Amino acid sequence: MNVQAGDARKVALVFGGSRGIGAAAVERLAREGHAVAFTYVSRPDAAEALVSKVAVAGGAALAIQADSADPAAIRAAVEQAVAHFGGLDTVVVNAGILRLGSVDTVSLEELDQMIAINIRGVYLAIQAAIPHLPDGGRIVTIGSNTAVRTGHPGSSVYQFTKAAVAAMVKGIALDLAPRGISVNNVQPGPIDTDMNAGAIEMLAEKSPMRRVGRPAEIGGLIVWLAGPDAGYMTGESLTIDGGWVL
């Protein structure tokens, strides 16, 4: 579905938007009036189901198959979203992977894959989007509360990739501040997603709130950062984890 001339909807692109936090972001952005493109790597059935769900609710969504480990695919996804919806106002970079392993067992392939997607892919997604964003546009990355004051054995690579995103956001925010483009990082704690499948009860027991977070709660923060009230906040990492790292 293309936005017609005169349609005042803003346009958002969510990298890694077919499930979990990404899907929640797609739904919330659409509910708030955005036309939303999102990328996925596998499970086209899940991606199309999300497009249909958004459409039934009166919104417009576009699923784009793109691997965030592939620089050309990242650029093509941005171009496709812009061409389909006629512009771009907000970018959410949620694509990321988790591979666990102690420092003596992580393979070079696993190391390179996490760096390629969790760090390089984030940077390249932002870089590709910048020429299309208007002054006052919004960029939101999805990090992790493991980037600050917490962690667990076997997560060293994932942790440093998310710490890198938190640092990256600060520098990019300064680059784009003259254009009024805000750049912020959301750092979720344990959330009820596929990534934590099988560990929900254990994580809930460790949480000060005795539960894990819901994807919709992260989606709500993303929507706020993409909205008009967040224009003066930039370069920040906002941790939303039920008090896990207080």
- Output the pLDDT for position 153: 86
Strands 11-15 and 90-93, bridge-based pairing = parallel
- Distance spanning both ends of the chain, measured CA to CA: 44
CA distance 73 to 36: 18
What CATH number should be reported for the domain whose range is 11-240? 3.40.50.720
Q: Which listed residue (40, 123, 158, 232) is catalytic?
A: 158
Q: In which residue are the tokens 């696993």 written?
A: 110
- Output the pLDDT for position 156: 92
Beta carbons of 180 and 188 less than 8 angstroms apart:
no
Strands (DSSP E) found in the chain: 11-15, 35-40, 61-65, 90-93, 138-142, 182-188, 237-240
pTM above 0.85, yes or no: yes
Residue 232 annotated to the active site = no
Q: How confident is the model at residue 52 (pLDDT cuts 50, 70, 90)?
A: very high
Q: How confident is the model at residue 201 (pLDDT cuts 50, 70, 90)?
A: confident
- Output the pLDDT for position 24: 97
**Where is pLDDT greater, at 99 or 193?**
99
Mean pLDDT of 219-234: 97
Could you tell me which residues come within 8 angstroms of residue 211 by beta carbon, excluding any fewer than 6 positions away?
Answer: 204, 242
- Output the pLDDT for position 8: 65
- Left (φ > 0), alpha (ψ -120 to 50) or beta: where does 34 sit? beta
- Output the pLDDT for position 5: 35
DSSP per-residue string spanning 18-67: SSHHHHHHHHHHHHTT-EEEEEESS-HHHHHHHHHHHHHTT--EEEEE--
pLDDT digit string (tens) for 65-84?
A: 999 999 999 999 999 999 99
